[in-house]
Amino acid sequence: KNEVEQSPQNLTAQEEEFITINCSYSVGISALHWLQQHPGGGIVSLFMLSSGKKKHGRLIATINIQEKHSSLHITASHPRDSAVYICAVLDSNYQLIWGAGTKLIIKP
Amino acid sequence: DARVTQTPRHKVTEMGQEVTMRCQPILGHNTVFWYRQTMMQGLELLAYFRNRAPLDDSGMPKDRFSAEMPDATLATLKIQPSEPRDSAVYFCASGLIVDGGVSLTDTQYFGPGTRLTVL
């Protein structure tokens, strides 16, 4: 079993839909990252969480430490949001453990 | 496949010692970022370079930290003297910025990080 699991693996939605991507982990963590990987391969850091909730524009990230679960939400999705979204956790040994990613396609 | 490399991956040192971390950006990228991640502060931007020139190092403690790009294939981050509070994971990222100034939302390719422990 992977230490960081994301769901769904693939998601296709229509423009304006509310999107949720989930991340569950099984190790003790000091922080959790949500990152976005563009079709060209580059990775952008979206959020770093250790508790609670963060919001940036149309993106919202939440984390529940007790349940070892985090969600990334996108409101009013747009085709430019199409990308791979990656959950990565920094464990207590400061090792960065990457999830497999969720491939999101937003259709106009 | 092209990727950002960092060395060393792990470093344990004693307080007062000099620490040098190295980063090899992806060939052809013109911008290099140094980040530090700690439990307390999260992910902090320390400095970034474009075309080897420092654009912003305001996030870096100047008295002990220095960042350089001796050439286009190597970026270094030095701490002298190191202190226990410097213990963190240091990430290097590179990108190809083609328009005007640098936005932190521009695509950045992250290296695997250097885990530094200062005793």
What's the pLDDT at B101? 47
pLDDT band at B104 (very low <50, low <70, confident <90, very high): very low
| Facing residue for B110 by CB, picked from A43, A50, A90 | A43
> Does B56 have pLDDT greater than 90?
no
pLDDT band at A96 (very low <50, low <70, confident <90, very high): low
| Facing residue for A94 by CB, picked from B89, B93, B106 | B89
Average the pLDDT over A89-97 and give the result: 68
What's the pLDDT at A89? 84
B contact test, residue of A44, A46, A91 with most B CBs within 10 A: A44
* pLDDT, tens digit (0-9, with 9 covering 90-100), for B1-52: 578 899 999 999 999 999 999 999 989 888 898 988 776 665 677 888 888 8
Cβ–Cβ < 8 Å for B107, B48: no
pLDDT band at B114 (very low <50, low <70, confident <90, very high): very high
What's the pLDDT at A37? 76
Partners of B7 in the β-ladder: B22
Cβ–Cβ < 8 Å for A77, A49: no
d(CA B95, CA B27): 10
Closest among A3, A2, A8 to A72, alpha carbons compared: A8
Closest residue of B to A47, CA-based?
A: B43
* pLDDT, tens digit (0-9, with 9 covering 90-100), for A12-28: 999 999 999 999 999 88
> Does A94 have pLDDT greater than 60?
no
* pLDDT, tens digit (0-9, with 9 covering 90-100), for A49-89: 888 898 888 999 999 999 999 999 999 999 999 998 989 88
CB contact under 8 A, A45 and B37: no
| Facing residue for B107 by CB, picked from A42, A94, A96 | A42
> Does A3 have pLDDT greater than 90?
no
What's the pLDDT at B102? 46
Residue indicated by tokens 């509310």: A18
Minimum distance, in Å, between the CA of residue B75 and any CA atom of chain A: 19
Average the pLDDT over A1-7 and give the result: 84
pLDDT band at B57 (very low <50, low <70, confident <90, very high): confident
**DSSP class per residue in B58-98:** TTS-TTTEEEEEEETTEEEEEESS--GGG-EEEEEEEE---
What's the pLDDT at A39? 64
